[in-house]
Amino acid sequence: MRHRKLLSTLLLSSTFCAVAFGANAQDHGFYSGVGMGQSHNEGSYKDRDTAFSVFAGYDFNQYVGVETGYADLGKLEYVGNIPLEATAPYLVAVGKLPVTEHVSLYAKAGVNRWNLDNANPALTGTNDDAGTDPTYGLGVQYRINDRFAVRGDYSRLEAGDMDIDVAQVQAVIRF
């Protein structure tokens, strides 16, 4: 008897969620992906390198989602110094605007936990430096079918007094 009550409650809850958040599979649910592109810094390092990312998220409906990921921003070289290796796990809220059945625009904003390895000990007192700062970005997504999409993503990750821009092509798979 208890199992029936639990099953009924779960069924009723999932029906409510489907109505509240939209019933189309492409409008909500879990997704993950990978990206590759280029990082660029206009601060004291003024350098570019290859950037990689992995991410996962959940779309509550066709307009709102949340995403978390890890970005490897490559090495930022400074003339005469050891290059910095920059990474940044992040958590962002994502707002989306469907343009057509297959194309949508998105904006994201949140926080990143940046880490710079081999930082200049004369400036920071250590070989590593880390902190938490804002991150934000814009992009366009093309949905190939209900499971696969590609994105063009441009993000800015603040890291202390540096701004690191990242432009990527990303592949997305929905579950």
Q: Convert the pLDDT of each residue in 39-57 to its tens digit.
A: 888 665 657 788 999 999 9
pLDDT 10s digits, 104-163: 999 999 999 888 776 555 554 556 677 788 999 999 999 999 999 999 999 998 877 778
Q: What whole-number distance in Å separates Cα of residue 93 and Cα of residue 128?
A: 28
**Span 160-167, average pLDDT:** 84
Of 3.40.50.300, 2.40.160.20, 3.10.450.30, 3.30.1330.10, the CATH number of 25-174 is 2.40.160.20
The Cα 114–Cα 100 span in angstroms is 35
Hey, what amino acid is at 69? G
Q: Which residues contact 128 (CB under 8 A, 6 or more apart)?
A: 115, 116, 117, 118, 119
- Any idea where the domains of the chain sit in the sequence? 25-174
Calculate mean pLDDT across residues 74-78. Answer: 72
- % of the chain beyond a pLDDT of 90: 50
Asked if residue 69 lies in contact with residue 56, where contact means CB atoms within 8 angstroms, the answer is: yes
The DSSP output letter for 26 is G
Count of other CB atoms within 10 angstroms of residue 122: 7
CA distance 145 to 167: 24
pLDDT at res. 40: 85
Which of the pair, 21 or 139, is modelled with greater confidence? 139
Q: What is the pTM of this model?
A: 0.74
Contact predicate 157/164, CB 8 Å: yes
Q: How far apart are the first and last CA of the chain?
A: 32
